Amino acid sequence: MSFDIDIEVARGERVISCAFRTGDGITCLVGPSGAGKTTILSAVAGLARPRRGHIVVRSRTLFAPGIDLPPEKRHCGYVFQDARLFPHMRVRENLDFARRPRFDRNEIAESLGIAHLLARWPRTLSGGETRRVAIARALLANSDFLLFDEPLVSLDPPRAEEIAALIRRVHEDYELPVLYVTHDRSEAKRLGARLIDFEGNEVA
Amino acid sequence: MTATEWAIVVLSLKVGGIAVLFTLPLAFGLAWLLARSSFPGKVVLDGFVHLPLVLPPVVTGWLLLLLFAPEGPVGMLVDDLFGASVLFRWSGAAIAAGVMALPLMVRAIRLSLEAVDKRLEEAARTLGAGRTRTFVRITLPLALPGILAGMMLGFARALGEFGATITFVSNIPGETRTLPLAIYTQLQTPGGEAAVIRLAAISVGIALLALVASEVLARRSGRGVHVL
C-alpha cells in the first residue's frame, strides 16, 4: 500500500476530512474547487497540521498521535501548483537545492528535457518549462513519493498533454507512488489514475 | 581640506560604520520579531522601536545620558565590564548614532522580511531543508536587498546625527566632534564659512554615495528588487 491517510484538517472555520488508502499507481484525489484538496496535500507534506488522524506513506508513519515529522524529514517530492522555483537561483541551483539526491541531476535533466535550461533564471522560463523544472526538483529531493497539485492548470492543451505524459513516465521510471489532486476528472483519466473522492470512494 | 577636517571625516565614518554594524543584529532581531511573530505587547514594542524617530533628538540624548551616567543602570554595568565610561567618548557618539539609526534599519529590514514569499520557504522545507538552511538559503538572500538598503540608510542617518550626540557625549574635538558637530562649531566661529562649505559639501557627497550604493547593491542582489 502506498498512501494510508485518515485525517481532519482545520482550514479557517472549516474542517476538512479525508480518508483513503491507495495502491502503487497514480492516485487522483478529485473534488470541486475549494474542497480542500491543496490542504490535504499540505498536510501530507507536513506544511499543515491535522487536528487528528494518521498519515502513513509506504509503511512510514509521517503523522499519528505523538508523531509529527517536520516537512524536511518526510521525503516527499511536492510539485506545487505555482511551481515555487527559487527566483534568486538559476535552474541548476534550484535542482541542486536538495541534498543527498537519490538520482543524478544531469540524468534527470536530460530525461525531463531541461538539460539546456540549467543556466537560465526561473523568470525567463515558459509555463511548460517551469513545470518540468519543478518536477525535476521534486524528483531530486530524495523523494519516497510525489505530490502534484493541479500541475496542468494554466497550460495550453499541447503543453498539458506533454506534462501529463511526463508525469506518467516519471511515475513508471522511478517507481514512485503519486498522489495527484485536480478538479478536472478528464485530466485524471488521461493520466491513467485511479480516481477517488475525499471519502476514499472510487469515482467513475 | 585641512588635516583636522580629514580627521573629522574619518571619525564620522568610523562612528557611523561602527554604529550600523553593532546595531544590525539588534535591528534584525527586532525586525524578525515584528515581521514573523505575534505576541502580546507587539504594538508597544513597535512603538518603542520607532520612538527615536519621533522624539526630539535632545530628549533621546538626555535619556542616554541618564542610562549611561556613572551611576546610571547601564553606566554601572559598562564600568563593571570594561572599567570605562562611554561618556564624552567616540564610542558614546556611536551609541547615539546607532540608537537614532535603529528605527530606519528595523523598518527597512522588516519590510524586506515581510516581502519574502513564505511559500518559497515551504518549498525549501519539502526539499529537505531544515529551518536554519531555509533561512540561510532562501529567506536571507531574498531579504538581502532590504537589509543592505536598511544598513545604508542607517549609515546615512548616523552620519547626520547631531542632537542626541551633542547632548549625550558633548562636542569634543577629535573624540565626538563628527561632521554635523564640526559644521555647527564652524558656524559659531567668526571666519568659519569656508570650512562650513567644505564640510557641508562632504556631508552631501557621503550621504548621496550611501544612498546610491544602497540602490546599486539592492539592484545587484537577488531578483533585482530595489528598495528605495
B120 vs A76, A86, A100: nearest CB: A86
**Counting beta carbons within 10 angstroms of the beta carbon of residue B158, is it exposed (0 to 12), middle (13 to 18) or buried (19 or more)?**
buried
When pLDDT is averaged across residues A116-129 and rounded to a whole number, the result is: 94
What pLDDT does B222 receive?
Answer: 47
Scanning every residue of chain B, which has its alpha carbon at the shortest distance from the alpha carbon of A41?
B126
CA distance B220 to A167: 37
Which CATH number characterizes residue B133's domain? 1.10.3720.10
A52: left (phi over 0), alpha (psi -120 to 50) or beta: beta
CA distance A83 to B152: 34
What pLDDT does B220 receive?
Answer: 61
Question: What is the complex's ipTM, to 2 decimals?
Answer: 0.92
What pLDDT does B228 receive?
Answer: 37
Interface membership of B2 toward A (CB under 8 Å): no
- Test the A interface: residue of B116, B119, B127 with most A CBs within 10 Å: B127
Q: Which domains does chain A have, with CATH numbers?
A: 24-38+70-192 (3.40.50.300)
B126 vs A87, A99, A141: nearest CB: A141
- Please report whether residue B227 resides in a domain: no
Instruction: Note down the domain range covering B66.
Output: 3-220
Q: Is the pLDDT of residue B94 over 90?
A: yes
- Please report whether residue B226 resides in a domain: no
Provide the percentage of residues in chain B whose pLDDT is more than 70: 95
Q: Which residue has the cell 534550484?
A: A94
Nearest alpha carbon to residue A146 among A112, A180, A188: A180
CA distance B210 to chain A (A): 25
Scanning every residue of chain A, which has its alpha carbon at the shortest distance from the alpha carbon of B138?
A86
- Please report whether residue B210 resides in a domain: yes
- Please report whether residue B225 resides in a domain: no
Going edge to edge, which strands form the sheet with A194-196? Answer: A76-79, A145-149, A178-182, A26-30, A194-196
Q: How confident is the model at residue A188 (pLDDT cuts 50, 70, 90)?
A: confident
- Could you read off the pLDDT of A123-167 as tens digits, one per residue? 999 999 999 999 999 999 888 999 999 988 888 888 888 888 889
Alpha helices in B139-192 (DSSP H): 140-159, 163-169, 179-188
Q: Is the pLDDT of residue B82 over 60?
A: yes
A100 to B137: CB separation less than 8 angstroms, yes or no: no
- Give the list of residues 6+ apart from residue B141 with CB closer than 8 angstroms, or none: A88, B221, B222
Q: Is the pLDDT of residue B224 over 80?
A: no
For all residues of chain B together, what is the average pLDDT? 91
- Could you read off the pLDDT of B129-170 as tens digits, one per residue? 999 999 999 999 999 888 988 999 899 999 999 999 999 999
- Could you read off the pLDDT of B11-41 as tens digits, one per residue? 999 999 999 999 999 999 999 999 999 999 9
B122 to A71: CB separation less than 8 angstroms, yes or no: yes
- Please report whether residue B150 resides in a domain: yes
What pLDDT does A189 receive?
Answer: 82
Structural domain count, chain B: 1
- Could you read off the pLDDT of A61-83 as tens digits, one per residue? 999 999 999 999 999 999 999 99
